[in-house]
């Protein structure tokens, strides 16, 4: 019941905020400003200073001009090296580029799924990730990846170390905006946003609403390929693969946040534990990135 209440409250907030956070850029997908989100003590996140996005490889000249004008001071790329092949970020004048690759494939199931992708490609078939996801929806290893992705990102030590690095980079930036992204701006970026919002004092409903907003971007693909999986006899486990790989699986995300509560007692304890934030770090973030309502 608690999970349902959290989900419904987040959906209401997401609908109310829809359009306020999304930035009018041409070539960057799922690019949003955390500005405007309410946090504790009657404050809000400042606008134009914390941006989340998909990769910047297809950014237009106008997009680059917009980001430079903020001014953007740092781009944090959460992708692995192989994800950047042919999709390197465009340079934003005045912004430092930092690579912090976050790899959830320390999970054995994820490694197995990558093997399935390679096999599909080696068979001479055209590599279409969406078609592969329909195929993998019926693969037990892929189902395990979909189920465990967010808990892997939150609890696998290598991932925790990289998120800790991300915070150190944000803390060292000073004035100006920071943009962080992965490939689609949904899973690693979604977890990064959740941790940043938690550090700034956002409640659970706000964190979930921000995570779920990604589904407005990828809704068409999720619906289209979910229908295909259903036609092939897919049920909840199979549909979870589509929701996770093509969209953002909000229900699984809420479960992962609840697991933080179980293991650490609170999000704050998690941030001060494996993520390594000191109380003074949290205060610095709040002084820099919050403003009164």
**Res. 72 pLDDT band, cuts 50 70 90:** very high
**Res. 41 pLDDT band, cuts 50 70 90:** confident
Show the domain range for 204.
Answer: 2-292
Residue 113 has what pLDDT? 52
Residue 109 has what pLDDT? 45
Number of domains in the chain: 1
**Res. 224 pLDDT band, cuts 50 70 90:** very high
Whether pTM exceeds 0.85: yes
The pLDDT tens digits for 96-132 are: 999 999 998 754 444 445 555 555 555 555 557 788 8
Whether the predicted pLDDT of 15 surpasses 60: no
**Res. 292 pLDDT band, cuts 50 70 90:** confident
**Res. 87 pLDDT band, cuts 50 70 90:** very high
**Residue of 260, 285, 263 lying closest to 202 (CA atoms):** 285
CATH, residue 268: 3.90.190.10
Whether the predicted pLDDT of 141 surpasses 50: yes
Whether the predicted pLDDT of 150 surpasses 70: yes
Whether the predicted pLDDT of 147 surpasses 80: yes
Give dist(CA 63, CA 184) in Å, integer. 17
Question: How confident is the model over 265-274, as a mean pLDDT?
Answer: 98
Residue 115 has what pLDDT? 58
**Residue of 228, 181, 213 lying closest to 36 (CA atoms):** 213
- Alpha-helical runs (H) found in the chain: 2-17, 61-69, 108-122, 129-136, 140-155, 157-171, 188-200, 204-212, 214-231, 236-246, 250-264, 267-272, 279-289
Residue 184 has what pLDDT? 95
Question: How confident is the model over 186-201, as a mean pLDDT?
Answer: 98
**Res. 284 pLDDT band, cuts 50 70 90:** very high
């Amino acid at each position: 019941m608690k999970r349902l209440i959290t989900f419904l409250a987040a959906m209401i907030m997401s609908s109310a905020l829809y359009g306020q956070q999304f930035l009018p850029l041409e070539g960057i997908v799922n690019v949003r400003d955390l500005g405007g989100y309410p946090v504790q003590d009657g404050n809000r996140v400042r606008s134009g200073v914390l941006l989340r996005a998909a990769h910047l490889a297809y950014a237009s000249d106008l997009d680059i001009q917009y980001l430079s004008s903020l001014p953007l001071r740092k781009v944090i790329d959460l992708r692995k090296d192989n994800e950047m092949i042919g999709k390197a970020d465009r340079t934003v004048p005045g912004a430092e580029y930092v690579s912090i690759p976050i790899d959830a494939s320390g999970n054995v199931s994820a490694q197995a799924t990558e093997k399935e992708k390679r096999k599909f490609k080696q068979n001479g078939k055209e590599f279409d990730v969406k078609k592969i996801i329909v195929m993998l929806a019926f693969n037990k290893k892929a189902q395990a990846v979909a189920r465990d992705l967010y808990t892997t990102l939150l609890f696998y030590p290598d991932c925790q170390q990289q998120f800790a690095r991300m915070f150190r980079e944000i803390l060292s930036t000073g004035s100006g905006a920071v943009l962080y992204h992965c490939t689609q701006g949904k899973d690693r970026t979604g977890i990064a946003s959740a941790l940043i919002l938690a550090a700034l004092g956002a409640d659970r409903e706000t964190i979930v609403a921000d995570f779920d907003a990604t589904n407005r971007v990828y809704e068409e693909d999720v619906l289209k390929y979910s229908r295909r999986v259903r036609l092939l006899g897919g049920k909840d486990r199979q549909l979870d693969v589509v929701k996770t790989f093509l969209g953002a699986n909000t229900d699984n995300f809420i479960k992962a946040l609840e697991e933080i509560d179980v293991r650490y007692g609170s999000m704050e304890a998690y941030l001060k534990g494996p993520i390594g934030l000191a109380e003074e770090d949290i205060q610095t973030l709040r002084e820099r990135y919050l403003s009164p309502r």
